[in-house]
């Protein structure tokens, strides 16, 4: 009966919209006319990439998507593992990860689990410059990445299905579904399941993710949104393969793992209620208010089921709860025809509790809590070809610490289809970054570069320098060079990163070239491409070294070369992709003896198939 009433309600709403008439027949009022645009982006001048750019080459998770971009370097512990994303000499705990503007890093330890994000919920990826990222999150001294999720608001019911199949019995399915009840209110939900047996012993992975959203747009002046996100997964922790003098590592039957028994179970919740309003000064001045809760539970087990135990039994439960408050107000002022300014003022409140019911390991912070109050401000000026922004953030923890920095951009030449300019920025973090670090942290970062845009060709070159002091001085620098183009039949991307940091390769090359065209009276959009990655002169590391043993390395210095071919097709409302991965059958790894891509041989080289299907009902 309830389902019948809902069906009648949707039908009546659809009928009422169909009867709307206007004196001017060419006038079209959008269905989402009350929606305040881009309310969950962080920074006005961030680089934002639509996920559709990557739908053709079949990326399986957020780590693989970011690893296509200049400056990023993915440490791969295997499919479904807690793979780490580094950027320009900053390891993952110094980067900021956001979901629709909410920081989803662990605020105490900085860690981020990419398996909390399903690929099919990503609409855009916003990258905030390193020199401004500190403004939006706690303990962020590197780049910030904001995942802006899909938020369909249209007059028809919409659903989207994604299915992916890979080797080692890897199956991944995701559904998005949206119901519009009126032009002011809609409901959407998503469900995702991913499981894999893993190629080696104790490398299995299983996850369920769910998401619910209510949008309520009573007027163009005020919008409300409620979200609930849930993720539960279990992964085997085999700690990598045992090195061997022969090639037994290619065979999962012959290869031996360090730990055949340990595993973890994680449950994460994210709930938030937000309000966006135009109540001050003008329509471009938006008040943003948000309440949210992050709740994470981790169960770690080792030797629970081992038939021949070695006496090291671990059974630990960890729980983190964070209550957050965000309040931001920007004031947009048009000073003259050629000069505008945007002032941002804000407050972040973090109230965190951490508990570890430790039974087998030493932990100095079994029970702890901390509160943090942050006040932030930013001023932007935009005048013709010149843009500058300055920002500062004050954080009140056990001890105070400060962030401040700025960015500038100047277009030197702008003529016809040619645009060229320079850009750069600087930032500084000083003080105590969190309550678990007893000594002061001092970080200074700057970058400077140039850009050229000519027709469909974009070229960027950036030099960066990162100086930090935590118990000892450390300096690293590097260069990011990238170029991309797209015309009627060909598109391509190439980047070269030069690093001199401990956990990075000396040179990191990434390329992606494809041919695309329409066939069968434009009913088939076909794309053929090749993706190549080469990392030079690095030493593989393990997870513990990154966080606890910075001066120690394992493994010989090595190079990695990987080549993938892919075929993508758009037929009607469906995208279909085949990927032929690791055609050289190489044993590539950048985390100590964790193979990045399965070795298979020619007969098993078609590694995965993906279909993304849109349904408009």
160 domain residue, yes or no:
no
Q: Read off the CATH number of the domain in which 325 is found.
A: 2.40.170.20
Residue holding tokens 């309310």?
A: 39
Q: Count Cα neighbours of 351 within 13 Å in the Cβ-side half-sphere.
A: 7
pLDDT: which is higher, 543 or 384: 384
Give percent of the chain with pLDDT exceeding 90: 38
158 domain residue, yes or no:
no
Give the residue ranges of DSSP H helices in 273-414: none
Tell me, what's the pLDDT at 16? 40
Integer CA distances (angstroms), 524 to 225, 517, 519, in order = 38, 8, 5
Tell me, what's the pLDDT at 194? 93
The residue-averaged pLDDT of 422-442 equals 70
Integer CA distances (angstroms), 79 to 24, 205, 209, 237, in order = 56, 8, 16, 12
Q: Alpha-carbon distance 65 to 154, whole Å?
A: 28
Count Cβ atoms within 10 A of the Cβ of residue 530 and give its class: 0-12 exposed, 13-18 middle, 19 or more buried.
Answer: middle
pLDDT at 441 over 90: no
312 domain residue, yes or no:
yes
pLDDT in tens, 282-314: 888 999 999 999 998 888 888 776 666 666 677
The residue-averaged pLDDT of 8-37 equals 53
pLDDT at 586 over 90: no
Q: Where is average pLDDT lowest: 57-61, 251-255, 481-485, 511-515?
A: 251-255
Tell me, what's the pLDDT at 337? 86
CA 29, 31, 34 angle in degrees (round to 5)? Answer: 90
Tell me, what's the pLDDT at 286? 93
pLDDT: which is higher, 14 or 331: 331
Q: Alpha-carbon distance 354 to 573, whole Å?
A: 46
449: which DSSP letter?
E
> Mean pLDDT across the chain, nearest whole number?
83
Tell me, what's the pLDDT at 361? 42
Token pair recorded at residue 75: 């440490």
Closest CA to 553 of 511, 495, 503: 503
pLDDT at 550 over 50: no
The residue-averaged pLDDT of 428-449 equals 71
Tell me, what's the pLDDT at 108? 59
Q: Look up the pTM and report it.
A: 0.88
Q: Alpha-carbon distance 382 to 341, whole Å?
A: 6
Dihedral (CA of 78, 95, 389, 469) sign? negative
354 domain residue, yes or no:
yes
163 domain residue, yes or no:
no
Tell me, what's the pLDDT at 366? 54
Tell me, what's the pLDDT at 592? 78
Token pair recorded at residue 275: 């309000």
pLDDT: which is higher, 152 or 529: 529
Tell me, what's the pLDDT at 12? 37
Which helix (H) or strand (E) segment holds residue 374: the answer is strand 367-383
Dihedral (CA of 544, 550, 554, 556) sign? positive
pLDDT at 360 over 50: no
**Is the Cβ–Cβ distance between 79 and 155 less than 8 Å?**
no
pLDDT at 519 over 50: yes
118 domain residue, yes or no:
yes
Tell me, what's the pLDDT at 436? 47
pLDDT: which is higher, 334 or 245: 334
pLDDT at 384 over 90: no
pLDDT in tens, 197-254: 888 888 899 999 999 999 999 999 999 999 999 999 999 988 888 877 766 677 777 7
Domain count, the chain: 1
Structural domain including 269 reads 2-151+168-616
Q: Alpha-carbon distance 74 to 101, whole Å?
A: 23
Q: Where is average pLDDT lowest: 196-205, 343-352, 393-402?
A: 393-402
The per-type count for the chain, helices as H runs and strands as E runs, is 3, 29
The highest-confidence range among 60-64, 459-463, 522-526, by mean pLDDT, is 459-463
Q: Alpha-carbon distance 255 to 263, whole Å?
A: 19
pLDDT-derived band of residue 192, with 50, 70 and 90 as boundaries?
very high
Residue 570 makes CB contacts below 8 A (sequence gap 6+) with 524, 525, 526
pLDDT-derived band of residue 507, with 50, 70 and 90 as boundaries?
very high
pLDDT-derived band of residue 399, with 50, 70 and 90 as boundaries?
low
The residue-averaged pLDDT of 277-284 equals 87
156 domain residue, yes or no:
no
**Is the Cβ–Cβ distance between 375 and 353 less than 8 Å?**
no
Closest CA to 306 of 264, 266, 259, 265: 259
User: For residue 551, how many other CB atoms are within 10 A of its CB?
Assistant: 6
**Is the Cβ–Cβ distance between 440 and 430 less than 8 Å?**
yes
pLDDT-derived band of residue 458, with 50, 70 and 90 as boundaries?
very high
**Is the Cβ–Cβ distance between 389 and 398 less than 8 Å?**
no
Q: Alpha-carbon distance 72 to 87, whole Å?
A: 4
Dihedral (CA of 558, 463, 57, 76) sign? positive
Q: Alpha-carbon distance 427 to 439, whole Å?
A: 20
pLDDT in tens, 40-82: 999 887 888 887 777 777 888 899 999 999 999 998 888 888 8
444 domain residue, yes or no:
yes
**Is the Cβ–Cβ distance between 547 and 560 less than 8 Å?**
no
Tell me, what's the pLDDT at 582? 84
The residue-averaged pLDDT of 96-112 equals 81
């Amino acid at each position: 009966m309830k389902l019948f009433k809902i069906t009648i309600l949707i039908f009546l709403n659809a009928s009422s919209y169909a009867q709307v008439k206007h004196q001017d027949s060419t006038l079209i009022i959008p269905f989402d006319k009350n929606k305040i645009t881009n309310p969950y982006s962080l920074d006005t001048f961030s680089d934002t990439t639509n996920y559709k750019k990557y739908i053709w080459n079949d990326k399986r998770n957020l780590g693989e998507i970011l690893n296509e971009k200049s400056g990023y370097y993915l440490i791969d512990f295997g499919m479904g593992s807690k793979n780490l994303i580094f950027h320009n000499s900053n390891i993952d705990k110094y980067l900021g990860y956001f979901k629709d503007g909410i920081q989803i890093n662990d605020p105490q330890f900085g860690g981020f689990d990419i398996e909390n994000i399903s690929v099919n919920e990503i609409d855009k990826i916003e990258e905030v410059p390193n020199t401004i990222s500190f403004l939006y999150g706690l303990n962020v001294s590197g780049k910030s990445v904001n995942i802006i999720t899909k938020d369909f608001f249209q007059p028809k019911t919409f659903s989207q299905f994604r299915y992916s199949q890979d080797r080692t019995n890897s199956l991944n399915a995701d559904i998005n579904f949206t119901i519009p009840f009126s032009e002011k209110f809609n409901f959407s939900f998503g469900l995702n399941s991913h499981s894999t047996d893993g190629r080696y012993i104790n490398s299995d992975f299983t996850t369920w993710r769910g998401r619910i959203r209510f949008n309520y747009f009573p007027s163009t002046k005020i919008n409300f949104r409620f979200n609930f996100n849930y993720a539960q997964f279990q992964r085997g922790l085999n700690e990598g393969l045992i090195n061997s003098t022969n090639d037994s590592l290619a065979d999962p039957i012959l290869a031996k793992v360090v730990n055949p028994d340990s595993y973890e179970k994680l449950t994460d919740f994210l709930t938030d209620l937000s309000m966006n309003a135009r109540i001050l000064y003008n329509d471009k001045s938006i008040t943003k208010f948000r309440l949210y809760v992050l709740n994470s539970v981790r169960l770690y087990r080792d030797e629970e089921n081992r038939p021949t135990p070695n006496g090291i039994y671990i059974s630990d439960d960890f729980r983190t709860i964070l209550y957050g408050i965000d309040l931001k107000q920007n004031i947009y002022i048009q000073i003259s025809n050629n000069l505008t300014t945007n002032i941002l003022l804000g407050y972040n409140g973090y109230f965190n509790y951490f508990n570890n019911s430790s039974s087998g390991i030493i932990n100095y912070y079994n029970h702890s809590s901390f509160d943090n109050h942050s006040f932030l401000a930013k001023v932007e000026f935009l005048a013709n070809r010149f843009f500058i922004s300055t920002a500062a953030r004050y954080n009140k923890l056990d001890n105070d610490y400060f962030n401040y920095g700025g960015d500038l951009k100047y277009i030197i030449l702008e003529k016809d289809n040619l645009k060229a300019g320079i850009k750069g920025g600087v930032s500084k973090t000083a003080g105590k970054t969190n309550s678990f670090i007893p000594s002061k942290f001092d970080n200074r970062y700057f970058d400077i570069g140039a850009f050229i845009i000519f027709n469909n060709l974009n070229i960027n070159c950036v030099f960066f320098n990162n100086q930090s002091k935590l118990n000892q001085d450390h300096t690293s620098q590097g260069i990011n060079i990238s170029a991309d183009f797209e015309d009627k039949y060909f598109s391509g991307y190439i980047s070269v990163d030069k690093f001199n940091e401990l956990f990075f390769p000396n040179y990191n090359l990434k390329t992606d070239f494809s041919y695309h065209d329409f066939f069968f009276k434009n009913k088939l959009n076909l794309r053929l491409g090749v993706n190549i990655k080469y990392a030079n002169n690095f030493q593989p590391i393990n997870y513990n070294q990154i966080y606890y043993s910075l001066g120690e390395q394992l493994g010989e210095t090595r190079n990695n070369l990987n080549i993938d071919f892919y075929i993508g097709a758009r037929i009607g409302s469906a995208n279909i992709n085949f990927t032929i991965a690791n055609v050289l059958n190489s044993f590539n790894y950048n985390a100590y003896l964790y193979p990045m891509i399965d070795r298979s041989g020619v007969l098993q080289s078609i590694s995965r198939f993906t279909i993304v299907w849109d349904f408009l009902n």
